[in-house]
Amino acid sequence: MKTQYATKLADAQKKVDEVFTDEQRAARQAARKEAAAAGKKGKELQAAINAAVQLTDEQRQKRGDAEKELKQLTKEVRKQVVALLTDEQKLQIKPKKKA
C-alpha cells in the first residue's frame, strides 16, 4: 500500500506547494512562526497564514484543486488502512470531525 500511494501523495503535495512563489513561501513561513508564537492554533493560525500569503484568484483556484486531490488520496489511504484493522483497533480510532 505504501508503494501504491507514496508517489501519488508526494505528487499531490507537490502540486499544492508549487502554487506559492518563493516570496509567498517566505511570507507563509514567517506568518506561521509569528502566529504560533502568539498562541494561535487551528483555523485562527491558518487564517493568519493565508492573510500573509495573499494568493491571486488563479492561485486560490489551483491550490483548491490541488488540495482537493490531496484530500481525496488521503481519504483513500485512510479507508485502506482501516480495512486492515481488527474490530478492536477500529474502535480506538477517533472519528474525523466534520467542519
| pTM, full prediction | 0.70
> Does residue 44 sit in the same domain as residue 80?
no
Residues 35 and 49 in one domain: yes
Q: Is 1's pLDDT higher than 80? A: no
- Verify that 7 and 43 share a domain, yes or no: no
Confidence of residue 97 (pLDDT cuts 50, 70, 90): low
Distances (CA, A) of 35 to 16, 38, 58, 80, 89: 21, 5, 26, 35, 36
For 54-70, the pLDDT digits (tens) are 899 999 999 999 999 99
pLDDT tens, 33-52?
Answer: 999 999 999 999 999 998 99
Helix ranges restricted to H, 1-99: 2-18, 22-37, 42-53, 57-84, 87-92
Same domain, 42 and 12: no
Asked whether residue 99 carries a pLDDT value surpassing 60, the answer given is: no
16-36 pLDDT, tens per residue?
Answer: 999 999 999 999 999 999 999
Amino acid (one-letter) located at 5:
Y
Q: What domain range is 49 assigned to?
A: 20-54
User: Could you tell me the three cell numbers for 26?
Assistant: 517566505
Q: How many structural domains does the chain have?
A: 2
Sequence length of the chain is: 99
